[in-house]
Amino acid sequence: MTKVNVYVTLRESVVDPQGIAAKDALHKLGFDEVGNVRIGRLIELELSGTQAEIEERVKKMCEVLLVNKVIEDYSFEIGEVAGK
């Protein structure tokens, strides 16, 4: 099985109320250097297939279900592809 990390983030044009609340909380805790906070999501997948297959299938999963492209962007990292 190969591990894939899918990173889902809110599009830049979308206001992130959770990020704003977290930023305010960080400021209250003394982390004044924090300018902006955006909260996203990490989805860990384990799947089989060759590098090329995994890339194609994960892209499809993102487009079909895991990501809503109206409000979100994504990227993913494929871990070491399990041999044989």
Task: Fill in the amino acid letter for 64.
Answer: V
Comparing CB distances to other proteins, the nearer of 6 and 54 is 6
Which pair of tokens denotes residue 80?
Answer: 């070491």
Would you state the structure tokens that stand for residue 83, as one six-digit string? 């041999």
Asked if residues 60 and 21 have their Cβ atoms less than 8 Å apart, the reply is no
Nearer to other proteins, 29 or 65 (CB): 65
Between 43 and 81, CB nearer to other proteins? 43
To the nearest whole angstrom, how small is the minimum distance from the Cβ of residue 31 to other proteins? Answer: 20
CB of 44 to other proteins, least distance (A): 14
The helix/strand/coil state of 72 is strand
